[in-house]
Amino acid sequence: MSMNIDTKMMTAYFPKMGYKMGIAQQKLGETKDTDTEWVPDATQSTQGTGGGFVLHISNEQDGEAIGAMCGTDHSVTVYKPKDFDAENPVYKVKIWDKDGNATERMVDVSKVDPQNSDYIDMFAYASHLTDSGQCPGAQSAFTSSAHNQHGMDERSYEDLFRQTDWVSQLADAMHTQYEAGNFEGYWHYRPFWDFLTKQG
């Protein structure tokens, strides 16, 4: 089962945050061992100066994880439920705080407004676009746009629930890369920005 996580971006990101990457496998499912595939029914552990932090990957109860990320004090995972209907794309999103307390939300991605939604809904939407092939780089462009200016994502748990104009944020990320002469970075964001602006 393929997991849509930009492993290169995450590997580069976590050392800056003081994390070390490592997998704590709970062999409840089939194991795949490649750079782009993850172990089903596993957790991704990161160890920071304040202790361990877990990036939750997949489990039987919630369904197939199609996206996962974590920040300094939180973890977010998007699950495709077992009864998922592509005609009515509703995903389960679980959000963990630094103490391991989980909050769940069902997200109908057909109703997400990229110009006025919180991080959780937009991450589910970007994960859906990547998983469905509608915009393959959406998830990576979305997650990396949050920390392009400072080299890291300084978003806190509380920030995940704030309404944001993500189209403007992508435009800012593209502008920053263009002004720096980083055209590879610019084109990393551009397809997702084009997709969002054509939908409006």
* Residue 160 DSSP label: G
What is residue 57's predicted lDDT score, i.e. its pLDDT? 64
What is residue 147's predicted lDDT score, i.e. its pLDDT? 66
What is residue 90's predicted lDDT score, i.e. its pLDDT? 98
125: buried, middle or exposed (CB in 10 Å: 19+, 13-18, 0-12)?
buried
Residue 60 sits at the vertex; the CA angle it makes with 69 and 74, to the nearest 5 degrees, is 25
What is residue 24's predicted lDDT score, i.e. its pLDDT? 30
Strands of 16-160, DSSP E: 20-24, 43-48, 51-56, 64-70, 74-80, 90-97, 102-108
What is residue 179's predicted lDDT score, i.e. its pLDDT? 94
What is residue 93's predicted lDDT score, i.e. its pLDDT? 96
What is residue 54's predicted lDDT score, i.e. its pLDDT? 60
H or E segment to which residue 184 belongs: helix 183-199
Tens-of-pLDDT digits for all 200 residues of the chain? Answer: 444 444 333 333 333 333 323 323 222 233 333 333 333 334 444 433 344 456 666 677 889 999 998 888 889 999 999 999 999 999 999 999 988 899 999 999 999 999 999 999 999 999 999 999 999 999 999 998 866 444 446 778 999 999 999 999 999 999 999 999 999 999 999 999 999 999 75
Domain residue extents for the chain: 7-199
What is residue 55's predicted lDDT score, i.e. its pLDDT? 64
